[in-house]
Structure 1
Amino acid sequence: MSVALVRVSCAAGWFRDERVSRRLDGVLRYEDLEPCLAELLDRSALRHSARVAAVDRSGNALTYGQMWSAAARVAGGLLDQGVGPADRVVVHCPNGFRWLYAFLGVVLAGGVPVLPDPTCSDPELEWIAEDSGAVLTLDGQLPDGVAFLDEGAAPDELAVLYYVRKRGGGLHGVELTNENILSTIEAVVHAMDLTAEGARTVLTAPLSTAAGSAVQLLPTLAAGGTVVAAGARGVRVPWRHLRASFPAARCVRGWGVAETGGIGLLLPTDQRAAHPRSVGVPFGGMEVALLGPAADRGEGELLCRGPSVARRYWNDPEATA
């Protein structure tokens, strides 16, 4: 039986981005990215300090200045507890301001946030802390110290470690570098036109997932917009409830997993009626292909290549291969 490889192209030219170009390794990559996530968010926080960065489920608002100040104090507290550059720290808090402080605090301290699947049990959380080599778990009172901002990391250094469920059971960590995360941010900001002042994003997924943090939260913060909480840890809000609560919001359809940086395919809002069964086309430098004997008929294994695609699984060479 022959095996075919069929590349899926975006003939319509949707989401075309001139800032991506093919490098020597054959991968499309963004030009002129910030060196690391901390520097990108620091610039945004300083530029938009008086703007509202987040609104919680009770309607309480948090400005960029308040958010950054609180996160920097958490970073200082982490430094006091011995957390150093590249140290892994598990962030296990409900969606809300405290999650933001914890996650951003780890980033500002130069550490690597370890984000567990929101459905993890207590024994699984203990295993994640051990497997990741985490030096600390943030799930209660957050550290507090003198405001601190690490000098930054390199694009190819680990930025976030997402723990996701394997197809056959169990968990493993997905390594996303600074380049991976920054590429996802650039792709979403461009495709969703988040550059307009007043952009607001409803958080429809737990922040511990790539969909919640890499796709919804971080691009909005990078663009100076506002994120609005709609669910707690482990809770996905039904679409009918979201549509009723936010009738004027754009409802975006797409596909992505942690291994692809949370992104992969996206359908333009004005194409939903014409393509009711589609999850979209590649964007953000992503290239996809189908592999298998029925690939030419649209059935097969989906292969992805792009600047946001993870380089490997943490401590799992067999799955990486």
Structure 2
Amino acid sequence: MQFSGGAEWLRDERVTRHAGVFRYEGLEPCLAELLDRSALRFAQRVAAVDRSGRGITYGELWAAAARVAGGLLDQGVGPADRVVVHFRNGFDWLHAFLGVVLAGGVPVLPDPTCGDTELEWIVADSGAIVLLDGDLPDGVAFLDGGASPDELALLYYVRKCGGGLHGVELSNENILSTIEAVVHAMDLGVGGVRTVITAPLSTAVGCGVQLLPTLSVGGTVVAAGARGIRVPWRHLRASFPTARCVRGWGVAETGGIGLVLPTEFRQRHPRSIGIPFGGMEVALLGPDAERGVGELLCRGPSVARRYWNDPQSTAETFGDGWFRTGDQVQIDDDGFVTQLAVRVS
């Protein structure tokens, strides 16, 4: 087994080691408080733009989400209750997701390829109180008092290796750590960044990597399609020549992040998927680990703690504090990771 802790040029001074694992210092207690502060600070800014070019400000977005939260409260949703959010990319998805967060609930996000039968199973498995997939509830504006960093904040339902689905548990600390990592690595600032959503918002990339970091700094998210853009990154660079297109790696179990390839290293490492960042550490497992080849393992502040209601998969995948990705990779002497084979779901 071989360990690699990331490159010096992506170090974040707010990341320190606690009980053997890197964690962020000074995070907000929960996602709701972070986003509420952002909404108050940037109330007049445009938070999102839909496919037609229609925009909505942070103030308008928060007012609508707070009314959804009040409607959920009327339907019996309380702190830590699960609520399935099942919309295509757009304002309804944003209102529903943020409404659940402001109500103190836990958004449950199904894999975008799920059919009706699988969706019914997700509702049952998660113990969801409500399924949001039509008219949104509307009530008196409400904002929950907040939660603690270690409380469950989000459930992504992803496909298991070999078939089926299971929920990936992410705590408030996991999500907030992902946000901090992206903001720092991408140097987003609060100057009004615009982010094109290139993935379904129900995925870790669409929600955790693209949406939430942008909202946290008062930026604007652009919903370019009903389920995001699915085109090669070279086509994106041609369509958005002044934009930064970032290559990286991450899955729901790592909060959507893990590795990022800085633009200045693309020519020297054309096949690499990046180096660790955001307090992420990587390791190799297997007989060739000492030679830099093996199964990729990850641990860090954004890595999930377990699978929901699936102790067997949890024991197999999250042993000894490391997440076993199932991906075969090579890590060179500088810490750059190259993918050799991807786990087949």
Q: Which residue of 2 aligns with 1:20?
A: 15
d(CA) in 2 for partners of 1:277, 1:16: 23
What SS does structure 1 have at the residue aligned with 2:32? helix
Aligned ranges 1:45-56 → 2 under 5 Å: 45-56=39-50
Q: More deviation in 62-71 or 269-278?
A: 269-278
Is residue 119–residue 234 contact of structure 1 (8 Å, CA) maintained in 2? no
Task: Work out whether 1:88 is the aligned partner of 2:82.
Answer: yes
Is residue 69–residue 100 contact of structure 2 (8 Å, CA) maintained in 1? yes
1:230 pairs with 220, 224, 228, which one?
224
The unaligned stretches of length 5 or more in structure 2 are: 316-345
d(CA) in 2 for partners of 1:296, 1:102: 48
Q: Deviations over 1:18-49 (max 9, x none)?
A: 1011112x110000100000000000000000
Task: Work out whether 1:253 is the aligned partner of 2:247.
Answer: yes
Q: More deviation in 49-58 or 268-277?
A: 268-277
1:8 pairs with 4, 7, 10, which one?
4
TM-score (norm 1): 0.96
What SS does structure 2 have at the residue aligned with 1:280? strand
Is residue 89–residue 113 contact of structure 1 (8 Å, CA) maintained in 2? yes
Residue 3 of structure 2 aligns with an amino acid whose one-letter code is: R
1:274 pairs with 245, 252, 268, which one?
268
1:247 Cα deviation (Å)?
1.6
Is residue 36–residue 155 contact of structure 1 (8 Å, CA) maintained in 2? yes
What SS does structure 2 have at the residue aligned with 1:62? strand
1:245 Cα deviation (Å)?
2.7
1:290 pairs with 263, 284, 292, which one?
284
1:240 Cα deviation (Å)?
4.7
Is residue 200–residue 227 contact of structure 1 (8 Å, CA) maintained in 2? yes
d(CA) in 2 for partners of 1:93, 1:157: 25
What SS does structure 1 have at the residue aligned with 2:272? coil
d(CA) in 1 for partners of 2:228, 2:133: 14
Q: Deviations over 1:119-168 (max 9, x none)?
A: 00110000000000001100000000110000001100000000000111
1:234/1:121 CA distance change after superposition, 3 Å? farther
Q: Which residue of 2 aligns with 1:113?
A: 107
d(CA) in 2 for partners of 1:236, 1:144: 33
Residue 293 of structure 1 aligns with an amino acid whose one-letter code is: P
d(CA) in 2 for partners of 1:31, 1:154: 15
d(CA) in 2 for partners of 1:269, 1:106: 36
Q: Which residue of 1 aligns with 2:336?
A: none
Q: More deviation in 265-274 or 113-122?
A: 265-274
Task: Work out whether 1:205 is the aligned partner of 2:202.
Answer: no
Aligned ranges 1:310-321 → 2 under 5 Å: 310-321=304-315
1:300/1:129 CA distance change after superposition, 3 Å? same
TM-score (norm 2): 0.89
Task: Work out whether 1:195 is the aligned partner of 2:189.
Answer: yes
Q: How many residues align?
A: 315
Residue 46 of structure 1 aligns with an amino acid whose one-letter code is: L
1:300 Cα deviation (Å)?
1.3
Task: Work out whether 1:79 is the aligned partner of 2:78.
Answer: no
Residue 305 of structure 1 aligns with an amino acid whose one-letter code is: R
1:15 Cα deviation (Å)?
1.1
Q: Which residue of 2 aligns with 1:39?
A: 33
Q: Deviations over 1:199-243 (max 9, x none)?
A: 111110100000000010000000111111122237634435433
1:277/1:241 CA distance change after superposition, 3 Å? closer
Is residue 153–residue 172 contact of structure 2 (8 Å, CA) maintained in 1? yes
1:13 Cα deviation (Å)?
0.9
Residue 6 of structure 1 aligns with an amino acid whose one-letter code is: Q
Q: More deviation in 187-196 or 127-136?
A: 187-196
Residue 166 of structure 1 aligns with an amino acid whose one-letter code is: K
More contact order relative to length (CA 8 Å, sep ≥ 6): 1
1:304 Cα deviation (Å)?
0.7
What SS does structure 2 have at the residue aligned with 1:173? strand
